[in-house]
Amino acid sequence: MLETTANTDLASESASAWESLHVYIHDFDKHDHFLQHCVAQFPDDLLSQIFFVRYWEGGPHVRLRCRLTQAAGRMDLVSYIESSIQHYLRKNSSVSHLNCEDFYAQYQRHHSEKTQAIWYPHQSVEKIAYHAETARYGGPLCVRLCEDHFCWDSSVTLKQLHKKKSHRHSLAFAYCLVFLEQLQLYSIDSWNLCGIRELHPDRRTRDLIIQHSQQRYAAIKGTLQAQFEQLKSAESCPDEVQSLRAKLKRLLPRLHMYSQAPLAGVANSLLHMSFNRLGLSPNEEAQLRYLAVRTFNEDHSHEDHNSPH
């Protein structure tokens, strides 16, 4: 009972400490520019307390979650963030002809459940309360740990957005391999991190992606294995990947100990949000995860006794 009460207090503290702003820019291709030329320009001490998510419901937008733990000066910080966003939007004013009905019709093909058509104007900024996904991330204590990871991941991602899409693919592939490397310590089957079922509930779509991914793996298997070998060496491993490895070595044992949800599920969600921040599509994510699992299993002489089907 004491632990439950403490966790509830942590959840309340977590929720009250966050300011959440949704910045509606009705063109997904312009979100990188906003993140680079507005959010990334915030002072480092503020950036260390911010995470972002790209999302579609209500119109294409970026969700900024800002942890403002000190009451003193809190309103000044919120005012600074809002004025910075408004300045960016005025400087980069644009017109969008995106239509609510057409947009939702396009998205409903990718989502099995019907979604109420909420809609916010292009270049609007809305304060919408942040509700932490406590159950998804293993409970009140673990969601706090994950929020710390989100802030770190967002800060790292902001430094990657000026690079080519191929670099983001390589980075996301490396992230998958590091997650697999660390999760094997908890006897979690590698295919649990494939994520294709979750990304594509439709069996036909899933089969097509797997077929394409199998062909892709056969064509570039040697290149993928060489990249994996580079990641094993501290000298050749990129700094951001080495940092992720160090973060997971501290984070996963705590999640394993305290999480009220399966560790594999929490890890899947953490990895999915990294793909989201990098601006990679569900199809790109599904293929890169598949390639990573095949590469990891090949290296560890695992039989692919399971399958993502």
Hey, which residues does 127 pair with through a beta bridge? Answer: 21
Q: Are 152 and 250 in contact (CB under 8 A)?
A: no
pLDDT digits (tens, 9 = 90+) for 236-281: 999 999 999 999 999 999 999 999 999 999 999 999 999 999 999 9
Domain locations in the chain as residue ranges: 18-127, 140-299
Q: Please, how many CA atoms are within 13 Å of residue 304, restricted to the half-sphere of its CB?
A: 15
Does domain 18-127 sit in CATH 1.10.530? no
Give residue 309's pLDDT: 59
* Confidence class for position 192, pLDDT limits 50, 70, 90: confident
Q: Are 109 and 118 in contact (CB under 8 A)?
A: no
Q: Are 138 and 261 in contact (CB under 8 A)?
A: yes
Q: What does the pLDDT average to over 44-50?
A: 94
Residue 3: pLDDT above 50? no
More confident residue, 67 or 75: 67
- CA 106 from chain centre, in angstroms, equals 22
Q: Among 65-79, 146-160, 278-292, where is mean pLDDT lowest?
A: 65-79
DSSP for the chain, please give it. -HHHHHHHHHHHHHHHTEEEEEEE-S-GGGHHHHHHHTGGGS-HHHHTTEEEEEE-TBSSEEEEEEE---STTHHHHHHHHHHHHHHHHHHT-------HHHHHHHHHTT-SS-----B--TTEEEE------TTTTTSHHHHHHHHHHHHHHHHHHHTTTTS-HHHHHHHHHHHHHHHHHHHGGGT--GGGGT-HHHH--SHHHHHHHHHHHHHHHHHHHHHHHHHHHHHHSTTTS-HHHHHHHHHHHHHHHHHHHH-SS-HHHHHHHHHHHHHHHHT--HHHHHHHHHHHHHHHHHHTT----S---
Give residue 107's pLDDT: 77
Give residue 222's pLDDT: 97
Give residue 200's pLDDT: 75
Question: pTM surpassing 0.85?
Answer: yes
More confident residue, 234 or 28: 28
Give the Cβ contact number of residue 274 at 10 Å: 22
Give residue 301's pLDDT: 65
Average pLDDT, the chain: 89
